[in-house]
């Protein structure tokens, strides 16, 4: 018996694989945001003061505010996407109920436009409609899976969690060392973490790992340097 998936065991064929990759990519990017924003904040404060309490308070406030902001932004965005997809599916459901023959012809036309002969396209459309008409039209017309609509609560929680995990690294790196080593140790830890997240993002997107790592490390180093200089200048001026 021929198994189409056994020929390429290393290739992902399971349902929802693209969705899972998108979630993983979003998690990596959320962690990257947590690293960069929190590191910039605590390094800037460290440039203005050596007080561990002040640095901790600023970092904690930035961590919480950033996680809440990420969660709210993701919730609103995904909720809007889900509402739009649900409205499109409801309209498609109504059209299938009221205009079944027109919808069947439309589905056949879609597959014919992809290269199938008119006869084969009609046969495919008939079989898919008999199996699950809404799913067939949703996939072909709307590029939406009715059974895998985005969940805004899950998206918000994942975004907040990934941000928190990323933000913990600069917090720990800035608070544990002695004052004279805080900034350099934090910078090294943060740039190493950014290189890792850049490499993972590049692999997930099938792009150049070297280029992605170079961009994110240079950008992170520039951001840390800028916030530290601002802390030095304004901390001295205010004090």
The answer as to whether 12 is a domain residue is no
pLDDT at 13: 43
Residue 121 pLDDT level (bands cut at 50, 70, 90): confident
d(Cα 156, Cα 202) in Å, to the nearest integer?
A: 24
- Within 10 Å of residue 83's Cβ, how many Cβ atoms? 12
d(Cα 95, Cα 93) in Å, to the nearest integer?
A: 5
Residue 206 pLDDT level (bands cut at 50, 70, 90): confident
The answer as to whether 199 is a domain residue is yes
pLDDT at 237: 54
Domain count, the chain: 1
The answer as to whether 138 is a domain residue is yes
Helix (H, G, I), strand (E, B) or coil at 100: helix
Residues 6 or more apart in contact with residue 27 via CB below 8 angstroms? 158, 161, 162
The answer as to whether 214 is a domain residue is yes
Residue 54 pLDDT level (bands cut at 50, 70, 90): very high
Mean pLDDT for 14-18 is 51
pLDDT at 3: 47
Structure tokens at 217: 């490390």
pLDDT at 1 over 60: no
Mean pLDDT for 9-37 is 68
pLDDT at 14: 46
The answer as to whether 105 is a domain residue is yes
The answer as to whether 9 is a domain residue is no
**129-145 residue pLDDT tens:** 888 888 888 888 778 87
Yes or no: say if 110 and 147 are a contact pair by the CB < 8 Å rule: no
Domain with 103, as residue range(s), is: 20-238
Phi-psi region of 207 (alpha: psi -120 to 50; beta: other; left: phi over 0): beta
The answer as to whether 1 is a domain residue is no
The answer as to whether 192 is a domain residue is yes
């Amino acid at each position: 018996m021929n198994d189409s998936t056994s020929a390429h065991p290393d290739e992902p064929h399971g349902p929802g694989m693209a969705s899972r990759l998108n979630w993983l990519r979003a998690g990596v990017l959320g962690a990257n945001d947590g690293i960069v924003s929190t590191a910039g904040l605590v390094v800037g404060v460290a440039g203005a003061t050596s007080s561990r309490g002040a640095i901790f308070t600023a970092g904690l406030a930035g961590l919480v505010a950033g996680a809440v902001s990420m969660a709210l932004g993701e919730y609103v965005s995904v909720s809007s996407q889900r509402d739009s997809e649900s409205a499109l599916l409801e309209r498609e459901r109504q059209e299938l109920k009221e205009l079944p023959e027109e919808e069947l012809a439309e589905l056949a036309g879609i597959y014919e436009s992809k290269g199938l002969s008119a006869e084969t396209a009609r046969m495919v459309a008939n079989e898919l409609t008999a199996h699950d008409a809404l799913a067939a039209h949703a996939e072909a017309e709307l590029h939406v899976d009715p059974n895998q609509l985005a969940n805004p609560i899950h998206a918000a929680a994942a975004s907040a969690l990934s941000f928190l995990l990323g933000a913990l690294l600069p917090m720990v790196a800035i608070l544990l060392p002695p004052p004279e080593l805080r900034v350099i140790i934090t910078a090294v830890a943060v740039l190493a973490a950014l290189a890792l997240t850049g490499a993972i993002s590049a692999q997930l997107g099938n792009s150049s790992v070297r280029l992605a790592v170079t961009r994110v490390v240079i950008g992170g180093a520039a951001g840390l340097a800028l916030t530290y200089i601002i802390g030095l200048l304004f901390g001295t001026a205010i004090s």
